Structure 1
Amino acid sequence: MTDTQERTRPASTEDVIAALRHEAGSTGFHRTLDGEHTATLIRRGPMLMVSFEDTAASLARRGGLPVGLDLVDDKDWSLLHVTADDASWFRRDAIYDFFDEMTDEGVFDTFEQVLFYGVGMGGYAACAFSVASPAARVLAIEPQATLERDRTGWETRFRESRALEFRRRYGYAPDMVEGAERAFIVFDPHRQLDHVHASMFWGENVTHLKVPRLEGVTDDRLDLALEELDILHRVIAEVGSGTMRAQDFYGYYRNRRAHGPYLRTLLQATIDRGSPRLTALLCAKVLETQRAPLFRRQLRAAARRLATKGERPDWLAEVIDAAAD
């Protein structure tokens, strides 16, 4: 088994592909599916993670490689990773044919359990191609249900990808997860378009997990934010093992309350809302457990604004005095 500490961080998307090819070794395979996509099978243990990601997104991670490799190392999982080098949404005949082949040859049946995983367009693909392995488990972070124009006339993003075909095989992702054992859909309810896509996934086997206001933790990607909060790997592992429950997820998610970037995002939201009382409450809560100069300054500023309005509560003076110690 290769230790993640020993891997050289890739400097380019070509390096990502080369690293995957190397990891496949003699027991797996690395295939070029077409000019834009590759598939790599790394055989280890009886648990198989099937993941989808464009190589630029992999490169954006701290280690520059797909998160599935971490599970190969930490859990001795096997990994089937499909790459894209552009915003294809994995809508290509070569990929359909590849998953048809994997099903027909019984590759998925050689593993005790299969987990499909992806983010964004990779989340779409994880849901769509999960039908290739009935009773698989699915973890999709902010997935699109489809970009078919007739179904998503409200979608204003991904303009260059709206011409892609979403009606043929492995097309409408919410239909494809109907055969999954469980499908967890992670999204930020404050991102309206992502919220609409998430709502298109429904059924007894679908669980929605809401993660609001994480944009301050990392630039824009929920998976990187969850990784920064030390949640992502645990969630992937528990969905894969079948032990994940919504209440467990939200218990882990509470870790954000001690995470500086998240708290600063929340602070800015109270300021933008023009609510000094909410700002004061948040700052007081943070200062109970942290020495945080920014929150101390904002607490005093909120107190001044409340005093100007004649609305300063009695408890606030005690909090300010305690924060000054």
Structure 2
Amino acid sequence: MQDKPQTFETPPMVDLDKAAWLTRLADVAEEHGHFQPLGKHHLAAFVDAGATLLVSFETLQGIRALSERAQPLGWDCVRTLGWSSLTLISEGDTWFRDRNVYGYFDRLIDDGFFDEFDTIVFYGAGPCGYAAAAFSVAAPGARVVAIQPQATLDPRVTEWDDRFTEMRRISFTDRYGYAPDMIDAADRAFVLYDPEVTLDAMHAALFTRPNVTKFRMRFMGSAIQSDLIEMNHLVALLDRAANGTLDTTSFARLMRDRRDHPPYLRSLLAAIDRQDRPWLATMLCRNVLARRNDAPRFARRLKQLEREAQDGNFAIPPARL
């Protein structure tokens, strides 16, 4: 079976309340594949379309906030790439540490579900990135794309991470537990993070494996998934991971667009200001304003820098720079 864009008619779900949204999700999944609740806090929705399968882990709240259509990321891949989509959805951040989820993957393995696909990509961000890595062991040879994943929240390993202390009573040592070990069977795994976000970088260090490529996205902050969606690059990133063309060079080319992405530019300016480098800040402001007409923050900052230079606080760079 070849992947090709599908006629996947799914009206936007943005105006639905939670109950109606879940009903619509279930109806679409049952029409095109299957839908299954997994206990009180998780569910699975499968759309059968192509020979490539995206297994995405998402939260209900994230789907409704990040998607313009209030639909799972995998459905975009069905429409644009002709892939199949298996979406695991949680109510809030659970890291998918639930025996009902374990059992669901056990059944998929027993049924030979993953054997039906030529290429499989596991994807998630943050707690969902942890899950993508952890459950990828169910499909040896899969590719994994994990954005800012946690390796584990077992306090004996990551007691330094104080962001999720409420999860320390949850077991990360039983089945599908330590995510870096679970990706050993993956063909390739890609971990995206900002090294300036210290705790994310510390988790990323635990994913050091021969089959892991790390993409350091400096100054992108703690919402990399949202930035990739806003730049319309997330699906392209997954496509490259699936077809084997994702590497340091292709990723760098894709990320050149961040030079026109306002959140990145603001983060970069803030970092330069923290380093007290007014010359470099002046050059950045001039560069942004030469390319963009909608950058009032950079215009204000440039005027401030020019006033400071006139007061003798520093030598302003020549205008041609």
Give the TM-score, by structure 2 length: 0.91
Give the alignment partner of residue 220 of structure 2, picking from 209, 214, 220. 214
Give the alignment partner of residue 115 of structure 1, picking from 121, 132, 137. 121
The answer as to 2:201 corresponding to 1:201 is: no
Q: Tell me what 1:256 maps to.
A: 258
The answer as to 2:47 corresponding to 1:45 is: no
Q: Tell me what 1:299 maps to.
A: 302
Instruction: Map residues 54-203 of structure 1 onto 2, 5 A cutoff.
Output: 54-61=59-66, 62-203=68-209
| Structure 1 residues 32-84: Cα deviation after superposition (integer angstroms, max 9, x where no partner) | 11111111111011111111111111111132222111001111111111111
- Cα distance, 1:16 vs structure 2: 4.0
- Cα distance, 1:10 vs structure 2: 4.9
Instruction: Map residues 17-32 of structure 1 onto 2, 5 A cutoff.
Output: 17-32=22-37
Q: Tell me what 2:12 maps to.
A: 7
- Cα distance, 1:202 vs structure 2: 1.4
Q: Cα–Cα, structure 1 residues 171 and 310, in superposed 2: closer, same or farther, change >3 Å?
A: closer
- Cα distance, 1:313 vs structure 2: 4.2
Is the contact between residue 283 and residue 317 of structure 2 (CA under 8 Å) also seen in structure 1?
no
**CA–CA distance in 2 between the matches of 1:132 and 1:187?**
24
Structure 1 gap ranges (5+): 320-325
| Structure 1 residues 155-214: Cα deviation after superposition (integer angstroms, max 9, x where no partner) | 101121121101111100000001100000011111111111111001221010112223
Is the contact between residue 137 and residue 239 of structure 1 (CA under 8 Å) also seen in structure 2?
yes
**CA–CA distance in 1 between the matches of 2:179 and 2:165?**
19
Is the contact between residue 53 and residue 122 of structure 1 (CA under 8 Å) also seen in structure 2?
yes
**CA–CA distance in 2 between the matches of 1:10 and 1:140?**
30
Is the contact between residue 127 and residue 138 of structure 1 (CA under 8 Å) also seen in structure 2?
yes
Report the count of equivalent residues: 313
Query: Where does structure 1 differ by over 4 angstroms across 4 or more consecutive aligned residues?
Result: none
Amino acid at match of 2:312: K
The alignment yields a C-alpha RMSD, in angstroms, of: 1.9
**CA–CA distance in 1 between the matches of 2:317 and 2:81?**
53
Q: Percent identity?
A: 36
SS of 2:97 mapped into structure 1: coil
**CA–CA distance in 2 between the matches of 1:3 and 1:306?**
58
Q: Cα–Cα, structure 1 residues 231 and 150, in superposed 2: closer, same or farther, change >3 Å?
A: same
Q: Tell me what 2:289 maps to.
A: 287
Q: Tell me what 2:40 maps to.
A: 35
- Cα distance, 1:102 vs structure 2: 0.6
**CA–CA distance in 2 between the matches of 1:133 and 1:11?**
34
**CA–CA distance in 2 between the matches of 1:10 and 1:198?**
37
Q: Cα–Cα, structure 1 residues 119 and 283, in superposed 2: closer, same or farther, change >3 Å?
A: same
**CA–CA distance in 2 between the matches of 1:276 and 1:300?**
12
The answer as to 2:273 corresponding to 1:271 is: yes
Is the contact between residue 282 and residue 317 of structure 2 (CA under 8 Å) also seen in structure 1?
no
- Cα distance, 1:14 vs structure 2: 3.4
Q: Tell me what 1:309 maps to.
A: 312
Q: Cα–Cα, structure 1 residues 13 and 177, in superposed 2: closer, same or farther, change >3 Å?
A: farther
Q: Tell me what 1:242 maps to.
A: 244
Q: Cα–Cα, structure 1 residues 287 and 221, in superposed 2: closer, same or farther, change >3 Å?
A: closer
